[in-house]
């Protein structure tokens, strides 16, 4: 399992098309997800010839899970140091949900390694509803009951159409979650605490000068479009795409649409 010791923790990563000279894309996972979540995007950009890096943040599945909470600045520093350790100067940084918030933190705290920013179903600040959602996930994680945890989070993240269409698959995944190791939930708890205590990025968004793409699911219940509207107002140079009939997990629900948006955004930066 490829890992590098970065800032005292082992971070899991995979690098595809290592010798590519087209440029580098670095993907950042949602809080419950892992590097494997990006397979539809990796497949496309691998075919286009880009160097692609996927990795688990500290606290996520295959990386170390030190006691939390962490900070978004720490995540940014970790990922910037991972890039440097791999000999890469800059990357197009693409993140969904928690990962998108880490990408924003990178553009604020480590701008020297950020070539562009793509944030998908993310926020730059919290409200009470979102805090209560995440607090409920923390309570479910503290039971260490994998099936209860998986079924409990489903309504807040997927669009009803996706839930209906993939009912059998999601049921199988819920049953498989019974075998999730305890340290996964320990990492989740640390990440939820980080999210609830340290997400205050809105005042710094106007310092981000690199190209920005904001993508939101029109019917995202967990992180509604009003959060993306805030980011678009604070970064008027950003491109903003709203995907209809889409919930929170765009990378699974609308991968073809998302890929088209990402490809267009990245290719438009070729000079």
Structure tokens at 84: 């440097």
Residue 135 lies in a domain: no
* Predicted pLDDT at 250: 97
What is the spatial distance between Cα 217 and Cα 215, in angstroms, rounded to a whole number?
Answer: 7
Distance of CA 146 to the CA centre of its chain: 21
Q: Between β-strands 9-16 and 3-6, what pairing exists: parallel, antiparallel or unpaired?
A: antiparallel
Element (H, E) at 9: strand 9-16
Element (H, E) at 32: none
pLDDT at 271 over 80: no
**DSSP-based three-state secondary structure for 88:** coil
Residue 159 lies in a domain: no
Running DSSP on this structure, what letter comes out for residue 207? G
Element (H, E) at 86: none
In this prediction, residues 81-109 reach a mean pLDDT of 98
pLDDT at 1 over 90: no
Residue 190 lies in a domain: no
Nearest 5°: the CA angle 154, 71, 40 is 45
Looking at the chain, the whole-number percentage of residues with pLDDT higher than 70 is 99
What is the domain-level CATH number for residue 245? 3.40.50.1820
- Please write the tens of the pLDDT for every residue from 195-217: 999 999 999 999 999 999 999 99
Confidence grade of residue 269 (pLDDT, cut at 50, 70, 90): confident
What is the spatial distance between Cα 191 and Cα 54, in angstroms, rounded to a whole number?
Answer: 18
* Predicted pLDDT at 148: 96
Q: State the residue range of the domain holding 101.
A: 3-126+199-267
In this prediction, residues 37-45 reach a mean pLDDT of 97
* Predicted pLDDT at 10: 98
* Predicted pLDDT at 256: 98
Looking at the chain, the whole-number percentage of residues with pLDDT higher than 90 is 97
Give which of 85, 125, 78, 87 is closest to 106, Cα–Cα: 78
- With tokens 């490809």, the residue in question is 263
Structure tokens at 31: 């809080």
- Please write the tens of the pLDDT for every residue from 136-176: 999 999 999 999 999 999 999 999 999 999 999 999 999 99
What is the spatial distance between Cα 199 and Cα 43, in angstroms, rounded to a whole number?
Answer: 31
Residue 178 lies in a domain: no
pLDDT at 114 over 80: yes
- Please write the tens of the pLDDT for every residue from 15-37: 999 999 999 999 999 999 999 99
Residue 149 lies in a domain: no
pLDDT at 270 over 80: no
- Please write the tens of the pLDDT for every residue from 45-59: 999 999 999 999 999
Residue 175 lies in a domain: no
Residue 244 lies in a domain: yes
Residues facing 54 on adjacent strands? 14, 27
Give which of 55, 50, 11 is closest to 35, Cα–Cα: 55
Residues facing 12 on adjacent strands? 3
* Mean pLDDT of the chain, nearest integer: 96
pLDDT at 246 over 90: yes
- With tokens 């950003």, the residue in question is 238
pLDDT at 192 over 80: yes
pLDDT at 83 over 90: yes
Residues 76/108, Cβ–Cβ less than 8 Å: yes
Helices (H) and strands (E) in the chain, counts: 11, 8
Confidence grade of residue 264 (pLDDT, cut at 50, 70, 90): very high
Domain count of the fold of the chain: 1
What is the spatial distance between Cα 270 and Cα 121, in angstroms, rounded to a whole number?
Answer: 25
Residue 95 lies in a domain: yes
């Amino acid at each position: 399992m490829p890992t590098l010791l970065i800032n005292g923790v082992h971070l899991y990563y995979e690098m595809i098309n290592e010798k590519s000279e087209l440029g580098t894309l670095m993907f950042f996972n949602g809080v419950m997800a892992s590097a494997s979540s990006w397979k539809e995007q990796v497949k496309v950009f691998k075919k286009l010839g880009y160097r692609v890096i996927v990795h688990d943040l500290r606290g996520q599945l295959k990386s170390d899970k030190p006691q939390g909470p962490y900070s978004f600045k720490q995540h940014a520093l970790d990922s910037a140091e991972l890039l440097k350790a791999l000999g890469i100067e800059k990357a197009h940084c693409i993140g969904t949900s928690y990962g998108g918030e880490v990408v924003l933190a990178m553009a604020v705290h480590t701008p020297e390694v950020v070539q562009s920013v793509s944030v998908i179903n993310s926020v730059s600040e919290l409200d009470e509803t979102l805090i209560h959602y995440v607090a409920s996930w923390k309570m479910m994680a503290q039971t260490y009951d994998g099936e209860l945890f998986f079924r409990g989070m489903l309504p807040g993240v997927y669009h009803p159409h996706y839930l209906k269409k993939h009912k059998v698959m999601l049921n199988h995944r819920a049953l498989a979650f019974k075998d999730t190791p305890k340290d996964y939930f320990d990492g989740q708890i640390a990440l939820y605490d980080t999210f609830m205590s340290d997400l205050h990025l809105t005042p710094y968004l106007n310092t981000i000068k690199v190209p920005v793409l904001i993508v939101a699911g029109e019917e995202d219940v967990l992180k509604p479009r009003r959060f993306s509207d805030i980011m678009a107002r604070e970064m008027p140079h950003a491109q903003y795409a709203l995907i209809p009939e889409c919930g929170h997990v765009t990378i699974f629900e609308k991968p073809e649409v998302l890929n088209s948006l990402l490809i267009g955004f990245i290719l438009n930066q070729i000079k």
